[in-house]
Chain A
Amino acid sequence: MNIELKSEKLSPQITLAHGNGGKLTHDLIRSMFVTAFSAEALSAEALSNDALSELADSARLKLPEGEIVFTTDSHVVNPLFFPGGDIGKLAVCGTLNDLAVMGAKPLYLSCALIIEEGFETALLKKIIDSMAEAARQNGVRIVTGDTKVVEKGAADKLFINTAGIGVVLPGAPKGLKSFQAGDAVLVSGSLGDHGIAIYAGREGISLQTDLQSDCACIFPLVEIALKICPELRIMRDPTRGGLATTLNEFVQGGRFGIELDERSLPIRDEVRGVCEILGFDPLYVANEGKLVLVLPQTSAPAVLEALKLHPLGRKAAAIGRLTERAPGRVYLKTDIGGERVLDMLVGDMLPRIC
């Protein structure tokens, strides 16, 4: 079966020739990538994608006035398709989130693929379409890219690198230096969904649940927080290493510690259950569509209410506060009313989670 893409025909499997820079590479880029990422595909918001359609060696971009943020992220998740998403959606949302938490509006993405020889063309198309859809939904353009194909066994199916550019919005967080004692810590929703959805998919644990990865772009939540609170201290998306690692990064070497209330942490029963069986702690499990915010206590109730009104923030919660008591440490007030240290993750709990 050949895949019909525009007028061109692609073989059912990707071969080394698709990555050698010759005709087949050109065909693949034209018929699959440019089609998916082109102006027509992104027409919902009438975005033009001239930068891509020129197919030059680099994209020429018009940037708005102001400070620019720039980031890159490689995605090696296994399996490629998981409940709630796939590597394509993840590669777009992951990079958009890294831009968004800086208080920036994401604008442009690159897309570089490393494909294992023999990878199914139909699956590649599904993943590319998923990237295009995620980009369209979030109003960003994929403007440049690269394709490499490696011999069978030299990579596992498909790796995607995306780099992103965004423009910093007014009221962007001032960073760690702006921390004050008593500042509130908020999280935008349930913790550990992504890591556990991936792990369950991978190990063949049949969960009697519809647990899905939370893979999503959190820029809408960032926009809400920026509008309501002009004094945001910091935002972060707690991916690998989970909430515990992110909070430790906030306080390490600084003047403050964090006191966390275990009873206020939003964690789904399914996630708790799987973690209990496998000996994981949900606080160290990766998220891909959650926002952690530190902000003045006085703004916390308003921001929390506004986040809860957005579909991505329905389970948002105030989970703790900055304290001067134990600088550099995160403490957990436990379910039963005791207290313990919540340390950085040691070792790798779940490899290839994103």
Chain B
Amino acid sequence: MKYMTEFRNFAAAQALSRELHSLCTGIKEIKIMEVCGGHTAAIFKYGLRDLLPPNIRLMSGPGCPVCVTSNSFLDYAMALSREPDVIIASFGDLLRVPGSHSTLLAEKSKGGDIRICYSSLDALELARKNPSKKIVFLGIGFETTAPTVAAAIKRAEAEGLKNFLVLSAFKTMPEAMKALLQSGELALNAFICPGHVSVVTGLRIYDFIARDFKTPCVVTGFEPLDLLQAILMIVRQLKDGRSTVENQYTRAALPLGNPAAQALLNEIFAPSDVEWRGLGVIPGSGLGISDAYQAFDAQKVIPLQLEPAREQPGCICGSIMRGVKVPTECKLFAKACNPENPKGSCMVSDEGNCATYYKYARNSRTTVIENEAGTS
């Protein structure tokens, strides 16, 4: 319980805010991206931008698993749901994300056997109970979720469950961060990196970003004081002319991460090229199912030929995910696109940039200032 009071303490937050203001006096604008949707949600929930000096710009990145899921992946999942004897098992959020022509929720109402589950272990249970069906678990997320699915595949293998399949769209963060830096669209100065990813991976995964791109990375927890401290660490690095990977989240993330989880990931998955909504195909940024576990790979077991995916007209989720635009710049935002009737993926998940803006910052000072400043 302590973190609910101590890591949200008013006096400590105000002290950090004052220190940031004094450190940032007279320096030029610093652009920091929080890549993780969990961080974006925390920043808005606590109104944290109000505590920052005006020359610190926080930009929201592509780290919400539902948001970065491509239409081609969703189209494949929906096509699978129309195959005989297939049950789709998915996290609930994903059901509402529009693909090229439909949503999984609409397919479900048309009779597709699509079940909501809370973990890959629920999907395993479905496989045990329905031996004559093929259970396809929709594997989305980052290094945080992937180990649990790897464990489920291991368990299925041990139990001889041959009807448990995974459609994998798992992604890893560092390659996407590199792609954002290489695009040159943003002129970013630093990254706030997700703490829970490093609980699994450790800190070294960002070394090349800090070294080759001279962009500081701070691994950060999810409470408001975590974020304020991380921003302070970033500003200090920039003022000192340093660029290293630092760990703010020392209470949970170890330098080498969780070796058991890493070993499991390396055994079950192999780096693959994967499509990110808004960023396109990023080489080596995916976790495909490795050759040794092909029997669990839905794409290998049930290969389908699909028409090329198409994007929702007017939706700018892609630009929003790259940090090039903010949600309030989208013509559909809070009009045709809202949480009850989302047109794009960013409006669906609780951690989606558009859903966060809708919930916490519609017509607020933050969005007015952002729109006046422009973002690109």
A65 on the B face (CB < 8 A): no
B1 and A273 within 8 A (CB): yes
Task: List B residues 1-20 near A (Cβ within 8 Å).
Answer: 1, 4, 8-10, 13-14, 17
**Given known A-B contacts A272-B4, A346-B339, A341 and B46 have beta carbons under 8 A apart:** no
A272 to B1, CA, bound (A): 9
A340 and B364 within 8 A (CB): yes
B363 and A279 within 8 A (CB): no
In the assembled complex, which residues on chain B have CB atoms less than 8 Å from the CB atom of A326?
A: 363
**Known pairs A335-B9, A336-B47, A340-B45. 6 more at Cβ < 8 A?**
A263-B10, A335-B10, A338-B47, A340-B360, A341-B360, A343-B358
A329 and B363 within 8 A (CB): yes
Smallest CB gap from A276: residue in B: B4
Residues of B within 8 A of A (CB-CB), count: 31
In the assembled complex, which residues on chain B have CB atoms less than 8 Å from the CB atom of A341?
A: 359-364
CB distance from A209 to the nearest CB of B (A): 11
A347 on the B face (CB < 8 A): yes
Which of B48-56, B128-136, B247-255 faces chain A? B48-56
Task: List A residues 196-225 near B (Cβ within 8 Å).
Answer: none
Task: List B residues 46-86 near A (Cβ within 8 Å).
Answer: 46-51
13 CB contacts below 8 A, A to B, read A273-B1, A334-B224, A335-B224, A336-B13, A338-B49, A338-B224, A340-B46, A340-B361, A341-B361, A343-B362, A346-B340, A347-B339, A347-B340
A341 to B363, CA, bound (A): 8
A341 to B224, CA, bound (A): 17
A340 to B360, CA, bound (A): 5
Smallest CB gap from A279: residue in B: B350
B28 on the A face (CB < 8 A): no
In the assembled complex, which residues on chain B have CB atoms less than 8 Å from the CB atom of A337?
A: 10, 13-14, 17, 47, 50-51
A340 to B51, CA, bound (A): 12
Smallest CB gap from A331: residue in B: B364
**Given known A-B contacts A263-B10, A335-B224, A340 and B339 have beta carbons under 8 A apart:** no
B335 on the A face (CB < 8 A): no
Which secondary structure characterizes the binding site on chain B? Answer: helix
A residues lining the B interface (CB < 8 Å): 263, 269, 272-273, 276, 279, 326, 329, 331-341, 343, 346-347
Smallest CB gap from B224: residue in A: A336
A331 to B48, CA, bound (A): 14
In the assembled complex, which residues on chain B have CB atoms less than 8 Å from the CB atom of A347?
A: 339-340
B110 on the A face (CB < 8 A): no
B residues lining the A interface (CB < 8 Å): 1, 4, 8-10, 13-14, 17, 44-51, 224-225, 228, 338-340, 350, 358-365
A336 and B10 within 8 A (CB): yes
In the assembled complex, which residues on chain B have CB atoms less than 8 Å from the CB atom of A333?
A: 47
A269 to B2, CA, bound (A): 11
A337 to B47, CA, bound (A): 8
A331 to B365, CA, bound (A): 11
In the assembled complex, which residues on chain A have CB atoms less than 8 Å from the CB atom of B49?
A: 338
CB distance from A280 to the nearest CB of B (A): 11
A339 to B367, CA, bound (A): 12
CB distance from A266 to the nearest CB of B (A): 15
CB distance from B360 to the nearest CB of A (A): 4
A340 and B1 within 8 A (CB): no
CB distance from B4 to the nearest CB of A (A): 6
| Most central of B4, B8, B46, B363 by chain A CB within 10 Å | B46
In the assembled complex, which residues on chain A have CB atoms less than 8 Å from the CB atom of B17?
A: 337
In the assembled complex, which residues on chain B have CB atoms less than 8 Å from the CB atom of A332?
A: 47
B47 and A340 within 8 A (CB): yes
A339 and B362 within 8 A (CB): no
Cross-interface CB contact of A336 among B4, B51, B340, B364, cutoff 8 Å: B51
Cross-interface CB contact of B365 among A269, A273, A339, cutoff 8 Å: A339
A153 to B218, CA, bound (A): 56
A335 to B46, CA, bound (A): 7
**Given known A-B contacts A329-B363, A336-B48, A338-B49, A269 and B340 have beta carbons under 8 A apart:** no
In the assembled complex, which residues on chain A have CB atoms less than 8 Å from the CB atom of B340?
A: 346-347
A329 to B45, CA, bound (A): 16
A273 to B4, CA, bound (A): 8
CB distance from A337 to the nearest CB of B (A): 6
In the assembled complex, which residues on chain B have CB atoms less than 8 Å from the CB atom of A346?
A: 338-340, 359
CB distance from B37 to the nearest CB of A (A): 13
A279 to B224, CA, bound (A): 16
A263 to B51, CA, bound (A): 16
A276 to B4, CA, bound (A): 9
In the assembled complex, which residues on chain A have CB atoms less than 8 Å from the CB atom of B224?
A: 334-336, 338
A333 to B48, CA, bound (A): 11
A102 to B361, CA, bound (A): 33
In the assembled complex, which residues on chain A have CB atoms less than 8 Å from the CB atom of B362?
A: 341, 343
CB distance from A344 to the nearest CB of B (A): 10
CB distance from B60 to the nearest CB of A (A): 15
A341 to B359, CA, bound (A): 7
B8 and A336 within 8 A (CB): yes
A339 to B43, CA, bound (A): 10
In the assembled complex, which residues on chain B have CB atoms less than 8 Å from the CB atom of A272?
A: 1, 4
B1 and A336 within 8 A (CB): no
In the assembled complex, which residues on chain A have CB atoms less than 8 Å from the CB atom of B47?
A: 332-334, 336-340
A47 to B51, CA, bound (A): 60
A263 to B9, CA, bound (A): 10
CB distance from A244 to the nearest CB of B (A): 11
Cross-interface CB contact of B46 among A276, A279, A336, cutoff 8 Å: A336
Smallest CB gap from B51: residue in A: A338
Smallest CB gap from B49: residue in A: A338
| Most central of A269, A279, A336, A347 by chain B CB within 10 Å | A336
